[in-house]
């Protein structure tokens, strides 16, 4: 088996919830040993969030170790229980940082200050550490202590303003998207850039990634459009300024689609020729020459009527069959897939074995996301299940920081390892 590119490196993961742990999970997939610092005094809320693993009788399992959310984003990590609200707990935290190559946190600066984890403090025990701080709005500034999740970041960064339909209130994007993609992706990139600098110079550095500013990076051309022509981009639904039709169209219901029988196909017509082929596939080739629809300008002027007609034509089609017919005609089209499709029915993902399965001690068999990128010579993979709460406390204490059994027993008795 190939060696993974980050083997031999260790991450002291002092983060929680989404963005921080997901970033550390990527590093773990590519070989880093990740020590996840947790505490029963303040349990990571993601350990208590659905979906939970199920019992054979259909009821949900309970406890800190059966959340599919937590388990998917913490695969292969070590979990250490440590109470950082105590002086001795902070001393143990320093000893872990001393033995690590990376430090990562997404707590607010207020909590970082409380736990004495500022960059100037941790570099006293490890001058070459790469320390990544990813609070919601940065280490300094009037909003430095504001906290929140992706569902807060999407409105305050303008994403929600541009998500939804023009005749309805801002809709957002349905998930904490910044937590899953934008912020962890930027954090990993920045940490690896700092690692490259350290390889060249021997020096570590502080990485500050305000999640607010990270997400603003994903606004695309909205701010540039405002700067260039003074407009204020807002919600346009599924429509595109230069393509028509461009949207999601309702197909026949699929009773085999669990809890979500409605099915849709997305279509993007980039020119008149593609529109003519769509009309032909749907059995209404003559409509393409109608004066209301025979040019982009005409279609944009009559877009409501056009979309109503297409929806009436697609309603009798099975989504997968219509998608195949449109693609065969050279039209960009795709089925709007749900979770069942992605996991069980998508032939491409199955053929590529995207989802990797592991056995978890309490949750049972679980499917996990593979690494997002495949390296030909040093590939990453899911190294094992997510840890049980505090599962590796003894291992970290003995193997990594060299405590004796008597010292560990004293720390347990004093409520430091909890």
Give the phi and the psi of residue 113 in degrees, each rounded to 5: -65, -40
The pLDDT value given to residue 172:
87
The pLDDT value given to residue 1:
63
Long-range contacts of 164-169 (CB under 8 A, 24+ apart): 164/235, 164/237, 165/235, 165/237, 166/234, 166/235, 166/236, 166/237, 168/235
Contact assessment for residue 225 and residue 211, using Cβ atoms and an 8 Å cutoff: no
Q: Going by C-beta distance under 8 Å and a sequence separation of 6 or more, which residues neighbour residue 252?
A: 263, 315, 316, 317, 318, 319
Peptide bond just before 245 cis, omega within 30 deg: yes
d(CA 75, CA 28): 8
d(CA 52, CA 17): 16
> How many residues does the structure list for the chain?
418
The pLDDT value given to residue 171:
85
- Please tell me whether the overall predicted TM-score, pTM, comes out greater than 0.85 for this model: yes
d(CA 348, CA 350): 5
Sign, CA torsion 58/61/67/68: negative
Contact assessment for residue 151 and residue 159, using Cβ atoms and an 8 Å cutoff: no
Long-range contacts of 401-409 (CB under 8 A, 24+ apart): 401/92, 401/95, 401/96, 401/98, 401/99
Q: Exposure pattern of 212-247 as b/e (b: 16+ CB <10 Å)?
A: bebbbebbeebeeeeeeeeeebebebebeeebbbbb
DSSP state of 117: -
Count CB-CB contacts under 10 A for residue 359: 10
The pLDDT value given to residue 175:
85
Residue whose pair of structure tokens reads 């902070």 in the numeric block: 90
Active site residues: 179
Strand order in the sheet with 33-38: 78-81, 33-38, 10-13, 102-105, 130-133, 205-208
Residues of the chain with pLDDT under 70: 1
d(CA 183, CA 19): 6
d(CA 24, CA 102): 10
């Amino acid at each position: 088996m190939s060696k993974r590119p980050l083997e031999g490196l260790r991450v002291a993961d002092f983060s929680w919830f989404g963005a921080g742990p997901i970033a550390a999970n990527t590093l773990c997939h590519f070989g880093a040993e990740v020590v996840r610092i947790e505490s029963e005094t303040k349990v990571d809320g993601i350990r208590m969030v659905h979906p939970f693993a199920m019992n054979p009788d259909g009821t949900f399992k309970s406890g800190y170790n059966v959340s599919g959310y937590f388990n998917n984003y913490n695969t292969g990590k070590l979990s250490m229980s440590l109470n950082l609200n105590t002086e001795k707990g902070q001393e143990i935290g320093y000893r872990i940082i001393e033995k690590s190559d990376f430090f990562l946190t997404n707590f607010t600066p207020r909590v970082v200050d409380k736990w004495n984890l500022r960059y100037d403090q941790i570099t006293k025990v490890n001058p070459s550490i790469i320390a990544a701080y990813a609070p919601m709005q940065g280490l300094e500034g009037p909003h430095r202590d504001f906290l929140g999740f992706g569902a807060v970041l999407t409105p305050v960064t303008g994403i929600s303003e541009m998500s939804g339909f023009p005749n309805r209130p801002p809709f957002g994007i349905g998930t904490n998207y910044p937590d899953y993609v934008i912020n962890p992706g930027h954090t990993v990139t920045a940490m690896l850039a700092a690692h490259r600098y350290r390889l060249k110079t021997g020096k570590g550095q502080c990485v500050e990634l305000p999640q607010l500013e990270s997400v603003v990076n994903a606004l695309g051309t909205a701010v540039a459009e405002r700067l260039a022509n003074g407009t204020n981009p807002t919600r346009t639904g599924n429509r595109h300024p230069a393509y028509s039709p461009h949207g999601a169209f309702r197909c026949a219901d699929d009773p085999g689609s669990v809890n979500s029988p409605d099915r849709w196909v997305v279509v993007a017509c980039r020119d008149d020729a593609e529109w003519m082929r769509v009309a032909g596939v749907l059995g209404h080739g003559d409509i393409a020459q109608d004066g209301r629809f025979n040019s982009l300008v005409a279609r944009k002027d009559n877009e409501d009527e056009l979309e109503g007609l297409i929806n009436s034509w697609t309603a009798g089609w099975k989504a997968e069959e219509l998608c195949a017919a449109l693609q065969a005609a050279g039209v960009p089209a795709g089925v709007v897939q749900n979770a069942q499709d992605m996991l069980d029915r998508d032939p491409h993902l199955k053929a590529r074995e995207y989802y990797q399965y592991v056995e978890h001690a309490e949750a049972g068999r679980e499917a996990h996301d593979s690494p997002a990128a495949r390296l030909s010579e040093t590939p990453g993979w899911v190294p094992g299940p997510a840890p049980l709460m505090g599962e590796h406390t003894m291992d970290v204490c003995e193997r990594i920081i060299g405590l004796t059994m008597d010292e560990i027993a004293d720390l347990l008795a004093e409520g430091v390892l909890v």
